[in-house]
Structure 1
């Protein structure tokens, strides 16, 4: 990579998808760093927080240091059941250790439920604290199309901006 006289921002994209847990194995719903009481949870190796996972993956992508599976995959039993905010916090630490500072992260949820808007600020605060950088979260539906439209799960897409500090 050529040397530049100034830091060049790098962007990354992260995607995470989780199916809702079955009634035979119910789970609490963790989404955007928050517990959603009374909502059907997501299945996954960790807590299934698609927003936090997509944010972590976007950081890894921007810094070029692997992906969620590389760092927290099913071959890492110490992360079984881990919270999404723990994974995002650890991802931010790894990215900073690799010589980057985090500019911001933006997360887009695709789901029919839970109704996200009333808790947006709370979620942004939780994820921003975990990342040590600004995180914005928005949500949309897929107008009844696909697995999210049928209410089978939740998807999240995130982008992150990092800048090399070395």
Structure 2
């Protein structure tokens, strides 16, 4: 009998000029990029938190603290790969990922297939199991003013 578990992730990063914009494991062309201790890939961070939460393994900050210099500027795909390893060590498999990126600009939709392919490869799952949606906030709030990016994720994991 399979045991199913669900986890949720939420993250926010400030946007500033002069930074590269990493989203879903790929670099998206834009004049602003996300600011953070790592490469600030908000989508990967919420996926990590959703997976860790589902497995009751705390959160991304617990495993990869932003006070630790070894994670300064790190590629978030490395963090995700390690989270997937933790899941496997604890007997879990990924059922599916459902995520939403909130961003006024740039438009995310053209980049979704490349993000799905990248993230599926990192997690060693089929692309059809990685849902990425995008929305604006109709110019409201910090996302609407293009001051930041936020993302949400729900992940289903299971044990056989």
Indicate whether 1:61 and 2:56 are aligned: no
In structure 2, C-alpha distance between the alignment counterparts of 1:100 and 1:39, rounded to whole Å = 39
Where does structure 1 differ by over 4 angstroms across 4 or more consecutive aligned residues? none
Q: Contact 1:39/1:114 (CA < 8 Å) preserved in 2?
A: no
Unaligned 5+ residue runs, structure 1? 1-5
Unaligned 5+ residue runs, structure 2? none
Aligned to 1:158: 153
The structure with the largest alpha-carbon Rg is 1
1:132 alignment partner, one of 115, 121, 124: 124
Give the CA deviation at 1:27: 1.4
| Pairs within 5 Å for 1:82-101 | 82-101=74-93
Give the CA deviation at 1:76: 2.5
Aligned to 2:21: 29
Q: Encode CA deviations 1:30-89: one digit per residue, 9 max, x unaligned.
A: 011111234311110100100011001100010000101001111332111111211111
Q: Contact 2:11/2:150 (CA < 8 Å) preserved in 1?
A: yes
In structure 1, C-alpha distance between the alignment counterparts of 2:146 and 2:98, rounded to whole Å = 23
1:7 alignment partner, one of 2, 5, 8: 2
Q: How many residues align?
A: 157
- RMSD over aligned Cα atoms: 1.2
TM-score normalised by length of structure 1: 0.90
* 3-state SS in 2 of match to 1:94: helix
In structure 2, C-alpha distance between the alignment counterparts of 1:127 and 1:47, rounded to whole Å = 15
